[in-house]
Amino acid sequence: MLYFIKSMCYNEIEVRNLTVQIEKLDHYGRGITRINDKICFVENALPKEIVEIKIIKETKKYFLATTTKIIKKSEDRTDIPCPYTNQCGGCNLAHLSFEKENEFKTEKVKEIMNKFAKIDSKIIKEIVYDKPYHYRNKITLHTNGNKIGLYQKESNTITPITKCLLLNDKLNEELGNIKPKTKKDIILKIGNKTDEILSPTNKNNYIISYIGNKKYKISEKSFFQVNSVITEKLYEEIKRIIQDKKSKNVLDLYCGTGTIGIYIHECVDKVLGIESCKEAVEDANDNKELNNATNCTYKLGKVEDLTTELTKEYDTAIIDPPRSGLHKNVIKKLLEITPKNLIYISCDPVTLARDLNLLKEKYEIEYIRPYNMFSRTYHVECCTVLSLKKGKKEEEVKNGIYRN
């Protein structure tokens, strides 16, 4: 029986468990149902399931609830192998089969692109994925001097952990050696192929990791993708695009440690990378030397503050911004210099859709491909390929705006 009691106030709902049927998942992997014509988001619930829930929060627009009992289980539900899932909240989709997780992420991208940018789902390509567990090459641990572990959901309370199933096996071994002697966050990283570990227990202040046949120096503060296998698949696609487009001069915006530009440097004439993290730029210049990428140049600064560096000599821009997406000054500058091709790497489909809406003024979206970079979580990476609309460059040449 499904309970929908019209006269019920929040306190009355709170003291009893309700039985509801789940309609679908929201973009954070929570089940959706309705109570008294108000939407309710339910943790650990899947579409078509009938579950007993407990309301934990009410606002004017929605309820939040947790699942207390599963009455009718979905065929897509899978056992959760991690003892910390209901505490740390990192693996939002651990109860969903991996096959359905990939379907969920593909549909999520389609829905967001249609809703926020009116983009046809036909241009969303098949998702790229690998394994669901043991893929992370990095973890940030929180400590308070007594405990070491991960924060609980929406809290600064630390759940001590001895193992994380998302982590590389050798990092899990290192995790057991870490003691909570400090109140500072502790970052562990491992290099694939080299198995070098960046950790407080050893004295090296950087490690070497590989993507394909390119090697990269990684320090504690510099950004490096957490899933090395999926990253190589992504970089191979970027390289193929660069070759197909016959790109010559490439902007590598938000370049981090220079990984993408160096990966494709042999296919182009030159690469200019811009990055705001000092340590990352230092690493990028070291990586340039490690890979003999003499045609790569790296500059320190925020992309939105270095727009004078973005000139019309660049025919392609590779853009890999933080979750917040592109600054309006960067979009304005890209629309001004109009590179023939844009390759936009995004870890947030919502900000991607927002930016694509603005870039559509002068660019056609060729396709968007989801990448399951963060298995067992609701996060999804996207690679979007855009090309200058036909006639735009010719029009600018005619008007004397663009010069080769």
CATH of the domain at 47: 2.40.50.140
285 found inside a domain: yes
What's the mean per-residue pLDDT of the chain?
Answer: 91
CA nearest to 192, candidates 214, 223, 174: 214
Instruction: Count the domains in the chain.
Output: 2
92 found inside a domain: no
Inform me whether the pLDDT recorded for 223 exceeds 90: no
pLDDT given at position 1:
38
Give 283 or 8, the one with higher predicted confidence.
283
pLDDT given at position 86:
78
Cα–Cα distance for residue pair 287/281, rounded to 1 Å: 10
117 found inside a domain: yes
Residue range 294-299: mean pLDDT, rounded: 98
- Whether 350 and 116 have beta carbons less than 8 Å apart is answered as yes
Residue 282 shares a structural domain with residue 358: yes
pLDDT given at position 321:
96
Active site residue 91: no
Chain segment 255-282, per-residue pLDDT in tens: 999 999 999 999 999 999 999 999 999 9
Residue 126 shares a structural domain with residue 240: yes
- Whether 354 and 116 have beta carbons less than 8 Å apart is answered as yes
Cα–Cα distance for residue pair 267/243, rounded to 1 Å: 7
CATH of the domain at 392: 3.40.50.150
pLDDT given at position 87:
83
Catalytic-labelled residue, pool 164, 347, 382, 383:
347
pLDDT given at position 396:
54
Residue 356 shares a structural domain with residue 298: yes
146 found inside a domain: no
Cα–Cα distance for residue pair 359/321, rounded to 1 Å: 15
- Whether 234 and 221 have beta carbons less than 8 Å apart is answered as no
Sheet with 249-253, side-by-side order of all strands: 296-300, 270-275, 249-253, 316-319, 341-346, 381-388, 363-371
pLDDT given at position 402:
42
Instruction: Give 90's DSSP letter.
Output: -
Instruction: Please name the residue that has the structure tokens 């306190």.
Output: 11
pLDDT given at position 401:
46
pLDDT given at position 2:
52
- Whether 249 and 313 have beta carbons less than 8 Å apart is answered as yes
Weakest mean pLDDT among 13-22, 109-118, 294-303, 319-328: 13-22
Residue 17 shares a structural domain with residue 115: no
pLDDT given at position 404:
37
Q: Which residues pair with 302 in a beta bridge?
A: none
2 found inside a domain: no
Inform me whether the pLDDT recorded for 58 exceeds 80: yes
Residue 241 shares a structural domain with residue 292: yes
Q: How confident is the model at residue 392 (pLDDT cuts 50, 70, 90)?
A: low
Residue 297 shares a structural domain with residue 362: yes
Inform me whether the pLDDT recorded for 334 exceeds 90: yes
pLDDT given at position 196:
95
147 found inside a domain: no
Inform me whether the pLDDT recorded for 293 exceeds 70: yes
Chain segment 38-56, per-residue pLDDT in tens: 999 999 999 999 999 999 9
Residue 18 shares a structural domain with residue 112: no
Inform me whether the pLDDT recorded for 204 exceeds 90: no
Inform me whether the pLDDT recorded for 335 exceeds 90: yes
Residue range 382-390: mean pLDDT, rounded: 97
Q: How confident is the model at residue 4 (pLDDT cuts 50, 70, 90)?
A: very low
Residue 27 shares a structural domain with residue 111: no
pLDDT given at position 220:
87
Residue 49 shares a structural domain with residue 102: no
Q: Which residues pair with 365 in a beta bridge?
A: 386
pLDDT given at position 31:
98
26 found inside a domain: yes
Residue 261 shares a structural domain with residue 325: yes
Q: Could you tell me which residues come within 8 angstroms of residue 43 by beta carbon, excluding any fewer than 6 positions away? A: 30, 31, 64, 65, 66, 67
Q: What percent of the chain has pLDDT over 70?
A: 93
Inform me whether the pLDDT recorded for 197 exceeds 50: yes
Chain segment 163-181, per-residue pLDDT in tens: 999 999 999 999 988 888 8
Residue 115 shares a structural domain with residue 32: no
Identify how many contiguous H helices and E strands the chain contains and give both numbers.
10, 20
Inform me whether the pLDDT recorded for 390 exceeds 80: yes
Q: How confident is the model at residue 303 (pLDDT cuts 50, 70, 90)?
A: very high
Residue 322 shares a structural domain with residue 385: yes
- Whether 362 and 351 have beta carbons less than 8 Å apart is answered as no
Q: Supply the pTM of this predicted model.
A: 0.91
Domain range holding 54? Answer: 10-76
Inform me whether the pLDDT recorded for 9 exceeds 70: no
Chain segment 64-116, per-residue pLDDT in tens: 999 999 999 999 999 999 989 878 878 999 999 999 999 999 999 999 999 99
223 found inside a domain: no
pLDDT given at position 403:
40
